[in-house]
Structure 1
C-alpha cells in the first residue's frame, strides 16, 4: 500500500475535525485522520527524507494548508486547529475544486515569495520560528547517551518526581530509569521511562517493546525522545486495554527545558517608544 497523495487527505481531515468536535490539537487531528483512513504502520512509518517527519505527516501538512486556504479550517498561535463557519457545514469536498481554488489564489498573488516549506508550517513562517529551538535541539542531540539520560533525570526531578534513578542497562528492554510521581503530597505511583536520543520518528514497535519491558515493574510509562512519534506510535501508546504510556517528543522536550530554565535563559528586551501625541498636546 502506497502513501496516499496529499489531496487524498482532504476529506479524512474534515471527517476528523467533525469527529473531534470542531477543534483539535495537531497530534489529535493527524491521529484521527490516520484512523479514518485505516492506514497500516507500514505506511505511517515511512520517513520523509531526513526531516525527522513521516511522509504521512508531511502530506497531512500539505492537506491542512490547502483546506485552510480554501477557508474550511484555521489554526491558532497555540497550534489548535478548528473548523471555520464554512467548515462546520462542509463534510466532504471535491479535491480538484480545492486544488483549483488554491491555484487561483497563488496566481493572483504573484509577489508572494513564500516557499513550500513556509507554506507547510502549521503556525508561523520558517523565518519567524524561534532559532533557539533548533539550537537547543542540536545541543541536546550532541550529548552522550549517558548525558541525555542524566538530562531526562534532571527534568523529571525538577517536575516533581522523587527517587529518580537512571539504570540504562543493556538488554533491559529499553528501560533507562524509574521514579515515583507524587500527587498533592498524598498519592504516589511508580513510573518507568525510556530516553531515546534520536533524529527520526519513533514507531509503534518501539512503544510495544517498551510496554513489554514494563510488565511486572510499573503500570505507567514515559517515553522521551528528541525526535517525534509516528501516528501509529501515538495510537499504540494509548491503546485500549494496555498500560498507558505518555509521550514527550523533541518539541515538548525543548519547551520543557525552557519552562524549567534548564540550560536556557530568557532576556527581556526593553522597548522605548516616543509618544508624539503627548508632545503635541503641550
Structure 2
C-alpha cells in the first residue's frame, strides 16, 4: 500500500490544477478537476487509495483542495456557489515559473493580514488542519451504520429518486449484488441492480468488473454506491466500450443526493442583511 510520502505536497498540485482546468475548457466541477489531475499526473490506483488520516477524504483529494484554495488566493481561480471552479484571466495566462512567486506573495499577504505567528519550519497547510465539512460529518455518520443498515439507506434513497419495487437482496453467493429496483423513464421501465460499498478508500476497476460479472445474464443496468471514491481506472471501466455501462455514486454524490431528498440532513436557511450608507439621503438635507 502506498503512503502519504508518495503523494506530492499541495504546492505540487498548483500547476497541474491549472493545466487540468485549461484542458477542461477553463472550468470544472471538483470531481472533474480531481479526475483530470489524476489522469494527467498518472497516479496509480494505489496512490488514489491513500486516505488523509482516517478518511473519508483521499490524500490526493485533500491536497488538491488546498491547491484550489491557494489558486483562489493567488487570483488564478474562482469558484461558484455550486462548486464549479474556473480560471480567471490571470489563470488562463499564467506560466509555470510564475506559480511559486505568486504562492509566496499570497502566503506573505495572508500572514500580514492575519498577524505574525510562530510557525514550525516544516509547517504546511496539511499540518495546520482542514475544517471538516458537512459532507465529511455525514459520511462519518454513515460509516457507523451496519452493512445491512447502509443497504436499507440505499434502498430508501433509490425510492426517493423514483425507483419502484426496490428490494435489498444481498446474500452470500450473490456475486456482490445487494439489491434490485425498477426505474421508469417515460413509457419504458427497466430493472437496475445495485451494489453498496460502505467503506473508506477507493473502489478500483477490479471491483467494477466483478460487479458487472455478477450481473451477467441477469440484466445490463447497474449502479454502484459507495461512501468512498472511485479510482480513475474504475470510472473508465464503468463506461468501457463493448461492456454494459455502470453508473457510479461516490461519497460526495451520495451526500448531495441525501441533502437533495432530505435524508439525514437538516438544511437551515439564514437571511443575511447587506447594509450600506445612502449618501443621497444625507446630501438632500433629509
Measured against the shorter chain, the TM-score band is: 0.7 to 0.9
Aligned pair partner of 2:55 in 51, 55, 72: 51
Instruction: Show the counterpart of 1:226.
Output: 227
Alignment of 1:151-170 (within 5 A): 151-170=153-172
1:229 Cα deviation (Å)?
Answer: 3.1
Kindly tell me: are residues 92 and 140 of structure 1, through their superposed partners in 2, closer, same or farther at Cα, counting changes over 3 Å? same
Tell me if the contact between 1:48 and 1:55 (Cα under 8 Å) persists in the aligned partners.
yes
Aligned pair partner of 1:173 in 175, 178, 183: 175
Count of paired positions: 270
1:139 Cα deviation (Å)?
Answer: 4.1
Tell me if the contact between 2:48 and 2:202 (Cα under 8 Å) persists in the aligned partners.
no
Q: Distance in 2 between matches of 1:257 and 1:140?
A: 11
SS of the equivalent of 1:164 reads: strand
Alignment deviations for residues 206-257 of structure 1 (CA, whole Å, 9 cap, x no partner): 2232223233332222111223334443343334444322222233323323
Alignment root-mean-square deviation, CA: 3.6
Instruction: Show the counterpart of 2:101.
Output: 97
Aligned pair partner of 1:63 in 60, 63, 67: 67
Tell me if the contact between 2:49 and 2:201 (Cα under 8 Å) persists in the aligned partners.
no
1:34 aligns with 2:35: no
Q: Which runs of 5+ in 2 are unaligned?
A: 118-123, 279-286
SS of the equivalent of 1:261 reads: coil
Instruction: Show the counterpart of 1:280.
Output: none
Kindly tell me: are residues 120 and 209 of structure 1, through their superposed partners in 2, closer, same or farther at Cα, counting changes over 3 Å? farther
Q: Distance in 2 between matches of 1:153 and 1:100?
A: 49
When normalised by structure 2's length, the TM-score is: 0.78
1:140 aligns with 2:142: yes
Kindly tell me: are residues 238 and 14 of structure 1, through their superposed partners in 2, closer, same or farther at Cα, counting changes over 3 Å? farther
Q: Distance in 2 between matches of 1:108 and 1:271?
A: 29
Tell me if the contact between 1:173 and 1:213 (Cα under 8 Å) persists in the aligned partners.
yes
Q: Distance in 2 between matches of 1:65 and 1:243?
A: 38
Instruction: Show the counterpart of 2:282.
Output: none
Kindly tell me: are residues 237 and 118 of structure 1, through their superposed partners in 2, closer, same or farther at Cα, counting changes over 3 Å? farther
1:22 Cα deviation (Å)?
Answer: 1.0
Q: Which runs of 5+ in 1 are unaligned?
A: 278-282
Kindly tell me: are residues 14 and 183 of structure 1, through their superposed partners in 2, closer, same or farther at Cα, counting changes over 3 Å? same
Q: Distance in 1 between matches of 2:231 and 2:116?
A: 32
Of stretches 83-92 and 188-197 in structure 1, the one that deviates more from structure 2 is 83-92
Kindly tell me: are residues 165 and 4 of structure 1, through their superposed partners in 2, closer, same or farther at Cα, counting changes over 3 Å? same
1:87 aligns with 2:88: no
Instruction: Show the counterpart of 1:108.
Output: 112
SS of the equivalent of 1:109 reads: helix
Kindly tell me: are residues 212 and 93 of structure 1, through their superposed partners in 2, closer, same or farther at Cα, counting changes over 3 Å? farther
When normalised by structure 1's length, the TM-score is: 0.79
1:30 Cα deviation (Å)?
Answer: 0.8
Q: Distance in 1 between matches of 2:111 and 2:272?
A: 39
